[in-house]
Amino acid sequence: MGVAVCNVLGVAEAAQAADIAAASPATRAQQWYLNRFDMNTAWKTTRGGGVTVAIVGSGVDVGQADISGASQPQIDFSTGTPKPAQGDVSSSNDGTAAAILVAGSGLDSSGIQGIAPKAKVLPLRYYANDKATATPTPAYAALAIRYAADHGARVILMPSPAPYDTASLSDAVQYALGKNAVVVTSASNNGRTSNQMTAPCTIRGTICVSGTTRDGTVWPDSSTGPAITLGAPAQDLPVWSQDKYGIHSSTHYSAALVAGEAALVFSAHPTWTAGQVISVMIDTATGGNAAHTTVNDKVGYGVMNPVGALAAPQPTSTANPLVPAATPTAGAPTAAPSPRTSAGTGGQAASSPASSGSSLPWLLIGVGAAVVILGGALVVMLLMRSRSGGGRNYLSDPGYQAGQYYHDGGGYGSGTGWSQAEPGNPPDNFSRPLPGPQQPGYTPGYTSVPDSWLQPPPDAADQEATPQQPDDDEG
């Protein structure tokens, strides 16, 4: 299995695992973040009841004790045709681990307690049915995301990001957002190497989650960049991996915790829009600022804060704050102001001193301005055409962005192995890093390249006392 695939599946973290006994009380004691987030206070408001969280990835072992009572039947999209499925094809049990972190029952303190233990999990697998070569296909992830949106999932989690972006995946995410779902994904574990991150982090409107340590700083292995929305614990978490409990680290787990937070807010406020849920999550993030803007490229708006999000008042805006409002196109016609009437004009527009005189000077000025504008546009067009050799450019194709960087396997930025693609002539195998809403080059409506341009990559071989848990009689 290639390095890129290992990063996707989280297999690299397995080598760092310190195994602990299955179903041991020590498992719960290792969930240091439960006390850090004061989850007992959060659970007095809700435990996630009434909310379905779709897990789109390697599948979920629905028989695993922590999650067996919360999981719906699994659907497999790995061949492009939906069908019933069983099991988790990731050797690190990536999907199962994420599902437990979202909705694990805790097994009366002997297992792993989920952030939203009363939420339901909808497992949707799009990985190939082979642990050794479980290379995900983004087009199949797109089918799973659409299915989740159409079947009542309020939160859609992709714990493992796709290896590259496609138009179908981007369109599916936008479809889910339009169906009032919150889409959450991880930033990837490439912080010490290429620092690449791929879809859905690179798709506007999604919550892209980086990993943090116990002290709230960024986990060194976490990818970072302008697309980051929130930070969440990634380091030394007890999870179900390699068919047993162990201590592991991954941003995939960070994303699962944030998905659990979104489920709690939706459960507490079932009539809220996805945009309102996202708004309170980013506005109340620990370490955020009063202006509610991104703090940095490492944790975005700050570190997740479930208690704060649940206590926040309903936002007045229902829109997704991660999708900038559309701005008028330059040169677009605007509605003329209504004529103002006054007494004694018989309902006609009152004449102003400026309009009572001759209009000839203004006509001449208008003609002169038009000539200047047309001349300038012609010059720009000729320059652009000469630089692009007559190919695609900003004027002929608004979706084209000169100087984009591409890389086999995907990511954002211009790190090791990146090269600039020829304008209008993309390589056969590339991932186009889609600027996110927090990125300086972001353009609303700028979506992914056609699937036909892409070919999939080749297959490759601190403990805290009395950890918190919800009371049985809480809703």
The Cα 407–Cα 341 span in angstroms is 62
Q: In this structure, what token pair is assigned to residue 445?
A: 């409506």
140-158 pLDDT per residue, tens: 999 999 999 999 999 999 9
Q: Comparing 177-181, 340-344, 360-364, which segment has the lowest mean pLDDT?
A: 340-344
| Section 427-456 average pLDDT | 36
Q: pLDDT tens digits for 358-399?
A: 444 444 445 455 544 555 554 444 433 333 333 322 223 333
Average pLDDT, whole number, for the chain?
Answer: 73
Tell me if 418 sits within 8 A of 406, measured CB to CB.
Answer: yes
Element (H, E) at 275: helix 274-283
Predicted local distance difference test score (pLDDT) of residue 134: 58
**Alpha carbon of residue 184 to chain centroid:** 4
- What SS3 class is residue 31? coil
Tracing tokens 């652009």 back to the chain, one arrives at: 384
Query: What is the pLDDT, as a whole number, of residue 371?
Result: 47
Q: Using CA atoms in the order 112, 118, 122, 123, what is the torsion angle rounded to 10 degrees?
A: 10
Paired residues of 165 in beta bridges: none
Tokens of 383: 């320059």
Q: Which two tokens stand for residue 455?
A: 């070919």
CA atoms within a 13 Å half-sphere pointing along the CA-CB vector of 191: 22
Residue 181 burial (CB count, 10 A): 26
Per-residue pLDDT tens over the stretch 402-411: 333 333 333 3
Dihedral sign from CA coordinates of 82, 88, 89, 92: positive
pLDDT tens, 251-274?
A: 999 999 999 999 999 999 999 999
Tokens at 262, concatenated: 């979104």
As a whole number of angstroms, the distance between CA 73 and CA 83 comes to 11
Distance CA 53, CA 101 (A): 12
CA of residue 10 relative to chain centroid, distance: 18
pTM of structure: 0.69
Q: Is residue 438 pLDDT above 50, yes or no?
A: no
Angstrom distance (rounded) from CA 166 to CA 432: 8
Q: Flag whether pLDDT at 250 surpasses 90.
A: yes
Q: What's the pLDDT band for 475 if we cut at 50, 70, 90?
A: low
Token pair in block for residue 275: 């945009």
Q: Which residue has the higher pLDDT, 135 or 95?
A: 95
pLDDT at 182 over 90: yes
**Residue of 250, 261, 244, 343 whose CA lies nearest to 302:** 261
Residue 76 has pLDDT above 50, yes or no: yes
Q: H helices within 104-221, ranges in order?
A: 138-150, 167-178
Instruction: Give the confidence band of 135 by pLDDT, cuts at 50, 70, 90.
Output: low
Q: Measured between alpha carbons, how far is residue 392 from residues 383, 388, 389, 397, 402 in Å?
A: 13, 7, 9, 6, 9
Decide which of 46 and 384 is more confident. 46
Q: At what angle do helices 138-150 and 167-178 cross, to 10 degrees?
A: 10
CA neighbor of 315 nearest in space, from 341, 283, 358: 283
